[in-house]
Structure 1
Amino acid sequence: MSPSCFVLLLLLPLISAQTVRWGRCPSPPVQPDFKLQEYMGKWYEIEKIPAYFSYGKCIEANYLLRNDGTVLVRNSQVVNGTRMEVEGTAKLMDPREPAKLGVSFSRFIPYRPYWVLTTDYTNFTVVYSCTEMFGVGHIHFAWILSRSPSLPDETVQRCKEMLMREGIHVAAMKPTKQDCAPEEDHDGSGEKEN
């Protein structure tokens, strides 16, 4: 057994909740002329390829541009009736490709890809992330996000078709429930709504 396959077998318990594919990551085109400032604000998760770190409901992402050009990322989800929140940082990995960001939720964890494949800034966005594993496979994630808690079915379908055209398998995508009571929800600033 090759060392790469052995390491992959050791990681199977960790990655079992992920979508693992053989081969290298796809390299889909990203949003041309991406405008980071217009992307800031609250996004609701509509559908996603399952992720071990995102298992609740009413999942939201809030982005705030900092003075140093990095982005404060505040992700939250409701688990067992309680809203849980985590903060991280996103940054441009290459100024020549502004739609290809990296995001990290700990200074001990390397930045992971956060590629904005398409967005209209006011209604929806499609985000993709892929990390290769020792040249034999990759773990990938995809999200369809919206500025509101729901999107028309036809918009969701168009987003999925775009992902499929780029070789990204969407069969595992699952809708995210956005049905929280007001006491479970908040405005994304870390403060509860009254």
Structure 2
Amino acid sequence: MFRFLVISFLAFASAEVIVDGPCPEVKALESFKFPEFQGTWYEIAKFPNVGEDGNKGKCSTAEYTVNGDKGTVRNSQVVNGVKSYVDGELTLVGPGRVMITYKFEGFTKNSVLTVVDTDYNNYAIGYSCKFLEKDNKHQVFSWILSRNKSLGDSQAKVNAFLDNFPAIDKSNYVYNDFSENTCKFTSSRAITSIRRKN
């Protein structure tokens, strides 16, 4: 997924999803079971963001390890034959809300992943929002995740949920590519710094 939440605070002018007004009140999954969320998730679709190189990042995954209300995540993706990854620290800050902390050279970045729906074994839908106070707008980020490289039978459940969740416009999703050729890489690197918005 994800350099994924690093990231939600950066700009990608040609693709970012910007909506008028402040961030809406979004209901998280109240019955969220953090330990059951651990393991590997494949990023089936995302709202484009610069942290995943816009639309370039492919074969994106997130590997969660959970211990109580804490944990770690490794987000990875492949771009042009290079696999990049970033490690983050997790803190459960409320039902269905996970703070992700990334430490880079010279600064730390926090963002909150709101899990709005999941069955733990097949799919999950994540949401994040950044208020752009100066312009009185908000930037929306969302991800569709799966335990497999495709949603399969879970696609209908995901569509039904999104059809009744106005904070997420599913027409903004860009779908990932997990084909064998796309996922090949010849080198890997850790992400230790990112470009910050001026």
TM-score, normalised with respect to structure 2? 0.76
Measured on the aligned residues, the alpha-carbon RMSD in Å equals 2.5
Q: What residue identity is the alignment partner of 1:178? A: F
Percent identity between the two aligned chains = 31
Mapped contact 1:28–1:166 kept (Cα < 8 A): no
Give how far 1:32 is off: 2.4
Query: Higher strand proportion, which one?
Result: 2
Distance in 1 (CA, whole Å) between partners of 2:156 and 2:49 is 21
AA aligned opposite 1:34: F
Q: 1:37 aligns with which of 35, 38, 41?
A: 35
Deviation string for 1:53-98 (max 9, x for gaps)? Answer: 113110000001247x4221100001111211111112122xxx33
Distance 1:22 1:15, change over 3 A: farther
Return closer, same or farther for 1:24/1:157 CA change in 2, 3 Å cut-off: farther
Counterpart CA distance in 2 for 1:35 and 1:165 is 23
Displacement after TM superposition at 1:160 (Å) = 4.1
Change (3 A) 1:122 1:32: same
Superposition map of 1:89-168 within 5 A: 89-93=89-93, 97-106=94-103, 108-134=107-133, 136-152=136-152, 155-167=154-166, 168=168
Q: Which position in structure 1 is the counterpart of 2:75?
A: 75
SS of the residue 2:35 aligns to: helix
- Correspondence for 2:194: none
CA 1:180–1:78 in 2, change beyond 3 Å: closer, same or farther? farther
Cα separation, 2, equivalents of 1:182 and 1:15: 23
Corresponding residue of 2:66: 65
Question: What residue ranges of structure 2 are gaps of 5+ in the alignment?
Answer: 1-9, 191-198
SS at structure 2 position matched to 1:106: strand
How many pairs are equivalent? 169
Spell out structure 1 runs of 4+ moving beyond 4 A: none
Instruction: Kindly name which structure, 1 or 2, has the bigger radius of gyration based on alpha carbons.
Output: 1
CA distance 1:182–1:176, change in 2 (3 Å): closer
Instruction: Give the conservation status (yes or no) of the 8 Å contact 2:44–2:149.
Output: yes
Instruction: Tell me how far 1:162 sits from its aligned partner.
Output: 2.3
Give the structure 1 partner of residue 195 of structure 2: none
Preserved CA contact (<8 Å) 1:102 1:113: yes
The alignment partner of 1:53 has SS state of helix
How far is the alpha carbon of 1:44 from its aligned partner? 0.2
Following superposition, the deviation at residue 155 of structure 1 comes to 3.2
SS in 2 for 1:121: coil
Q: Which deviates more from structure 2 when the two are superposed, residues 155-164 or residues 50-59?
A: 155-164
Worse overlay, 165-174 or 115-124: 165-174
CA–CA separation in structure 2 for the residues paired with 1:51 and 1:15: 6
TM-score norm. by structure 1 comes to 0.77
- For 1:79 and 1:182, the matched residues in 2 are separated by 8
Work out the CA distance in 1 between the residues paired with 2:148 and 2:76. 15
